[in-house]
Structure formats: structure tokens, C-alpha cells
């Protein structure tokens, strides 16, 4: 995949088109192959695992919901369970500016059905927190899928976190900092979701274990 510069509106649109194209095609193929082997899409999470590699493919949360609800006629709550069971998210960077966001206007123009789904996911999430007695405005604002501060934008990192059953960092220190910084409020709500998968090796340790002699 090429990553066009997103400093212009045309560049942002091209990048979003690319990301959606690859995600949608991959999910359609995955669901087709699953249906060829199994009778129901409700068992997708038992047979398939989709790893969101940073926020670039995180539109997969909304796209999988769209396909399950609109194409396969799955009830919303069941579709959400399948989505969460199937998706996992790897975060590679703690820089807030590297956590992809998209202008709401661009999303509504290019992917209107996905924005409907994102709004509904967000509304149900915020309502569920209020039902649990969480009314702190700063907390609700931090975990919302929609950023309101500098123009309305969709927070793809929050979408990936909420739509996944497992969220991992790529080193012990990275994972600790992720819990304390970019996803601190979501971590408080879902304390068992963030875990660590060390990304990389130390060459001396690998060589010693691969060839002790």
C-alpha cells in the first residue's frame, strides 16, 4: 500500500480510499471462505483472527459490522460480539499525532453507512458507561470515538480499541506507557484488554538459543 501525503484534502481522501478498499476486500474474502467451510458467520471468531496493525486498517471495525448487519442480516448485538471476538489491535506508537483520525465531514461524505455505524457504536458505549454510573465529562470525552476539540474527527485508535478483544503493545515498556498515556481512560474501563507482545529479538539471545554449540 502507498501512503499518500495527507496534508491536503485530496491526499486524505486518497489514503482513506486505499485503506477502505484493502480492508473491505480482505473482509469480504474472509467471510466468503468462512461461509464455504462453516454454516454460520456467527462462528467467525472461533475460526479466524484479524490483527489490526496500528490504526491504518481500523475501519475494519465498522466494515465488519456493516457486512454482518447489512449483508448477512445479523442482529446488531450479535454482530458486535462477533466483531470483538474476531478483531485484535496492535499499537506501535505512543505519539497521539500518529493515532489516525479522520474528519467527520470526510467520513460522512465517503463512507456514510460506516459513520452511521460508528455513531451507533459510540452512542451505545457512552450510554453503557452512564448506566454504570460513569458521568465524568472528561472521561466520557476521552473514550468517545468522536473528537470534538479541534474540529470533529473520528478517533480510529479508540475505534480499534473498542472493537477488539485484545490490544497489545510491542514491548514491556511500551505496553506500560500505553496504559498510562494514550489509552489510560479506556484501560481503566477495560483493565484486562491491554497486553504485551514483544516485537523483535535480541540477536545474541536468538543465536544462542538457535545454535547453543
- Give per-residue pLDDT as tens, 136-179: 999 999 999 999 987 899 999 999 999 999 999 998 999 999 99
Q: Which CATH class is domain 9-210?
A: alpha beta
pLDDT score of 95 = 83
pLDDT score of 91 = 94
> Would you say 27 and 67 are in contact if contact means Cβ atoms under 8 Å apart?
yes
pLDDT score of 198 = 83
All structural domains of the chain with their residue ranges = 9-210
- Ranges in the chain, pLDDT < 50: none
Give the alpha-carbon dihedral of 183, 104, 71, 57, to 10 degrees: -50
Which of the 8 DSSP states describes residue 56?
Answer: T
pLDDT score of 4 = 64
CA 108 to chain centre: 18
pLDDT score of 24 = 98
Give the alpha-carbon dihedral of 188, 190, 192, 193, to 10 degrees: -120
* Pairwise CA distance, residues 121 & 91, whole Å: 21
Task: Convert the pLDDT of each residue in 71-87 to its tens digit.
Answer: 999 999 999 999 999 99
pLDDT score of 211 = 81
The pLDDT > 90 percentage for the chain reads 80
Amino acid at each position: 500500500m502507498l501512503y499518500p501525503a495527507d496534508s491536503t484534502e485530496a491526499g486524505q481522501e486518497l489514503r482513506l480510499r486505499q485503506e477502505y478498499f484493502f480492508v473491505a476486500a480482505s473482509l469480504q474474502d474472509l467471510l466468503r471462505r468462512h461461509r464455504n467451510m462453516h454454516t454460520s458467520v456467527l462462528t467467525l471468531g472461533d475460526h479466524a483472527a484479524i490483527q489490526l496493525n496500528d490504526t491504518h486498517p481500523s475501519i475494519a471495525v465498522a466494515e465488519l459490522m456493516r457486512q454482518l448487519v447489512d449483508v448477512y442480516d445479523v442482529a446488531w448485538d450479535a454482530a458486535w460480539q462477533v466483531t470483538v471476538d474476531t478483531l485484535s489491535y496492535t499499537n506501535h506508537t505512543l505519539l497521539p499525532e500518529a493515532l489516525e483520525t479522520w474528519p467527520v465531514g470526510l467520513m460522512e461524505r465517503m463512507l456514510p453507512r460506516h459513520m452511521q455505524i460508528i455513531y451507533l457504536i459510540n452512542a451505545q458505549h457512552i450510554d453503557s458507561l452512564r448506566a454504570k454510573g460513569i458521568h465524568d465529562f472528561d472521561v466520557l470525552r476521552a473514550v468517545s470515538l468522536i473528537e470534538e476539540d479541534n474540529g470533529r474527527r473520528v478517533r480510529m485508535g479508540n475505534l480499534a480499541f473498542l472493537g477488539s478483544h485484545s490490544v497489545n503493545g510491542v514491548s514491556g515498556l511500551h505496553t506500560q506507557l500505553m496504559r498510562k498515556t494514550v489509552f489510560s481512560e479506556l484501560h481503566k474501563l477495560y483493565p484486562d484488554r491491554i497486553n504485551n507482545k514483544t516485537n523483535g529479538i535480541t540477536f545474541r539471545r536468538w543465536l544462542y538459543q538457535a545454535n547453543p554449540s
